[in-house]
């Protein structure tokens, strides 16, 4: 998580040894895409992920487990809100949070919005802009940016609309609908499967 007093994290300590980490925003986004890739087995994802973040594939399974737990906790950390409190409905039942954007499907809108608001060309920042910096800028995108207008359409409540306003909103929501409405719970399940493969490797 971004700090105004501490340096950006680009290293990880394990048992007294320091390892370099690649936490550029595009590396983290590639890791999320890797978790979604159904064409690869989890064992293959482990090797690819380590090459992405650290430049090598470890032989020590305990090291692999510890490192990926730390990396996942770090990149998922948010400055606001209590991630430990589940969303609940009126009956007290846990509700899976709805997702309103995709870094993959909304890539063009995100790119255009960064150019519009910050004058930043994300394609030129690949391998340079740290994940923490990207997260802070991404969260700060204003309501009039292309990306945030799309999110607002997806989140718009249609229950009180009627006539042409309802028709126009439904058409817009259909047009901008996410191909796969992944949830944070699904993301957690993906990483759990990833970690279970690592643990099975450690016991073999």
pLDDT recorded at residue 1: 82
Compute the half-sphere exposure of residue 122: CA atoms within 13 Å on the CB side of its CA: 24
- Give the mean model confidence (pLDDT) for residues 152-176: 92
The values of phi and psi at residue 110, to 5°, are: -65, -45
d(CA 199, CA 204): 9
pLDDT recorded at residue 154: 94
Nearest to 107 by CA among 93, 91, 126: 126
Which contiguous run of DSSP H or E holds residue 184? helix 184-203
**Which tens digit of pLDDT belongs to each residue from 148-161?**
999 999 999 998 88
pTM score over 0.85: no
Report the chain's terminal Cα–Cα distance, integer Å: 35
pLDDT recorded at residue 185: 59
pLDDT band at 193 (very low <50, low <70, confident <90, very high): confident
């Amino acid at each position: 998580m971004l700090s105004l007093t501490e340096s950006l994290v680009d290293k990880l300590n394990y048992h007294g040894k320091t390892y370099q980490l690649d936490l550029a925003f595009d590396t983290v986004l590639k890791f999320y895409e890797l978790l979604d890739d159904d064409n690869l087995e989890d064992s293959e994802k482990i090797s690819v992920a380590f090459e992405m973040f650290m430049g090598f594939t470890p032989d020590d399974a305990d090291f692999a487990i510890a490192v990926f737990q730390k990396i996942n906790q770090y990149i998922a950390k948010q400055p606001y809100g209590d991630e430990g409190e589940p969303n609940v409905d009126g009956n007290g039942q846990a509700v899976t949070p709805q997702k309103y954007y995709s870094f993959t499907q909304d890539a063009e809108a995100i790119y255009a919005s960064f150019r519009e608001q910050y004058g930043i060309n994300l394609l030129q920042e690949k391998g340079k802009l740290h994940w923490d910096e990207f997260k802070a800028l991404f969260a700060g995108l204003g309501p009039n940016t292309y990306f945030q207008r799309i999110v607002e359409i997806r989140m718009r409540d249609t229950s009180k609309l009627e006539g042409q306003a309802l028709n126009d909103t439904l058409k817009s929501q259909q047009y901008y609908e996410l191909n796969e409405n992944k949830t944070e719970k699904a993301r957690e399940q993906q990483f759990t499967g990833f970690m279970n493969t690592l643990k099975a490797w450690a016991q073999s």
